[in-house]
Structure 1
Amino acid sequence: MDNRRNLYFYYKNDEKLIKKLKPLFAYVMEEGFHIVEDAKDANIIISVGGDGDFLQAVRNTKFRQDCLYVGIAETNKSYLYCDFNIDQYDQMVHSMKNEHLEVRRFPVTDVTINDQATFHCLNETTIRSAVIKTVVIDVFIDDKHFERFRGDGLIVATPTGTTGYNKSASGAVIDPKIACFQVTELASMNNNQYRTLGSSFVLNEDRTLRLEVVQDGNDYPIIGLDNEAYSVKNIQTITVQLSDKRIKTVKLKNNSFWDRVQRTFL
């Protein structure tokens, strides 16, 4: 890690948090690291807070491929993207200096709306009705029609995204070492007119998922990209593929994804 010395901190502008961070800032500089003001100049980007802050840090720094991301928890709660605690920052710095860190690579999805704008997602993409009315979506896998969905919406989750909203909707938790993404239904209707699989399903990294919104008067669903919501007028299609991008994060040894899942849920 000797060649990675430029640190960029992403955190909320909160007086109490900034006060807690001052000893960390002083410590990393004493240990030979440099704190930069622009994320473009960093080779290690450190988010402080929780999983939501980590997702925002990755999104706001444009899913950098040439740097490492580190998550520091502000509290003693368990998080899936945060390996370190703000009260034990010396452990993080010591590990970086002594190369005790391992690098994990998290899959990312590419999400294209109306065959125009493309976004990246580290966690999940959701499409939900913006009004008290079901949304109808034709689901295609590799250009072959799979099902017509009617219900509250769909979740398309990366492996790391399967532990959140996806899990609460009875989706499976997937090992992030598996290059894939998962589709989970939200309150689907199954009757003589509409018939869905009725369970989540997992697509391999070379698959293409295409969702076509049926224009039946509910043409303004909400699109959630990680923890940001977008209201896009006249959504017609959403195409999801696994990206060739990978978010590189650092972790302590003996602190695997499954260690954190066990710590969080069991």
Structure 2
Amino acid sequence: MKYVITSKGDEKSNLLKLSMIAEFGAYEGMIYDEAEPEIVISIGGDGTLLAAFHEYQDRLAETAFVGIHTGHLGFYADWRPHEAEQLVAKIAKGKFEWVSYPLLKTTIYYNTGKKKDEYLALNESTVKSSGGPFVVDVVINSTQFERFRGDGLCMSTPSGTTAYNKSLGGALIHPSVKSMQLTEMASINNRVYRTIGSPLIFPTHHRVHLKPVDDRDFQISIDHLSILHRDVHEIIYEISDKEIHFARLRSFPFWRRVHDSFIED
């Protein structure tokens, strides 16, 4: 089996990476391959796994991911450093199954000659104004829903609902529910302007269009990456037909992760 290990880059994570590579060397057929891995092991935290996902997003159909946290418990990095030897043995012996999570597809169209940009997100995509007021028309499928005014909007995947979405007051959604959730950032609601003021959850066959009203320059984030996009004509969110696969080597239910992360560990 071909594998690769990505590290947060701190001393603890780097040492653990070297130790695991040495342990994999004791198993026949385990090949370290940065170009075409069948399993990606990230050491650090959820941010490290997000970076690994974007690095290997062209190999999602052939690759499974697993994370070890060297800091706080993560939703993607759920193994601990002292369990690394056990993890190596399970992977080398092929004792795991694939679990699939939905991904978010973001398509950005422009008014200029540039055709479009497409991105995949594991957690979320956010849209904010580059400077002036943030005003967009929210169109669900082909129907005008509202004209949003505020700081911005966040569209998250089910697994990403525990991240930025949660801090915005969004619901937590189990990753087995193939959906996406739109939450508001400080919407303007008064006698003149009105938004729904509530998170919206969309099923697989829905597309959400954000159409600029005034400003056409937006700061758009895809997970940890934020880029200024100029002269935007339209932003379209939809659930991707691609998925990320995680190597499940033991039972660790989603709601237990929620409990351990936000209530008590």
- Give the percent of matched residue pairs that are identical in Structure 1 and Structure 2: 33
Identify the range of structure 1 (11-20 vs 89-98) with the bigger mean alpha-carbon deviation.
11-20
**Could you say which residue in structure 1 is the equivalent of 2:167?**
168
**Could you say which residue in structure 1 is the equivalent of 2:25?**
29
**Could you say which residue in structure 2 is the equivalent of 1:65?**
61
Distance in 2 separating the partners of 1:169 and 1:184: 7
State the shift of 1:98 in Å. Answer: 4.8
Q: TM-score, normalised by structure 1?
A: 0.91
**Could you say which residue in structure 2 is the equivalent of 1:225?**
222
- Aligned positions of 1:169-184 closer than 5 A: 169-184=168-183
Amino acid at match of 1:150: R
State the shift of 1:22 in Å. Answer: 1.6
- Aligned positions of 1:1-266 closer than 5 A: 5-32=1-28, 33-38=30-35, 41-63=36-58, 64-75=60-71, 77-114=72-109, 116-131=116-131, 133-215=132-214, 218-266=215-263
Distance in 1 separating the partners of 2:67 and 2:147: 39
- CA distance 1:42–1:80, shift in 2 (3 Å): same
Amino acid at match of 2:136: I
Distance in 1 separating the partners of 2:100 and 2:4: 20
Q: Deviations over 1:1-35 (max 9, x none)?
A: xxxx1111122444553233221110011123221
Amino acid at match of 2:19: P
Distance in 2 separating the partners of 1:168 and 1:36: 38
Amino acid at match of 2:210: L
Amino acid at match of 2:14: I
RMSD: 1.6
Distance in 1 separating the partners of 2:40 and 2:16: 18
State the shift of 1:214 in Å. Answer: 1.2
State the shift of 1:100 in Å. Answer: 4.3
Amino acid at match of 2:79: F
State the shift of 1:86 in Å. Answer: 2.6
Q: Deviations over 1:119-169 (max 9, x none)?
A: 1111101001233x4300100001100000000000000001100110000
State the shift of 1:118 in Å. Answer: 1.1
SS at match of 1:230: strand
Amino acid at match of 1:6: K
Q: Is the 8 A contact 1:83 1:252 kept in 2?
A: no
Amino acid at match of 1:104: V
Question: Unpaired segments of 5 or more residues in structure 2?
Answer: 111-115
Identify the range of structure 1 (201-210 vs 55-64) with the bigger mean alpha-carbon deviation.
55-64
SS at match of 2:201: strand
State the shift of 1:99 in Å. Answer: 4.8
Q: TM-score, normalised by structure 2?
A: 0.91
**Equivalences, count:** 256
Question: Unpaired segments of 5 or more residues in structure 1?
Answer: none
Amino acid at match of 1:31: Y
State the shift of 1:87 in Å. Answer: 2.9
Amino acid at match of 2:128: R
State the shift of 1:97 in Å. Answer: 4.1
Amino acid at match of 1:62: Q
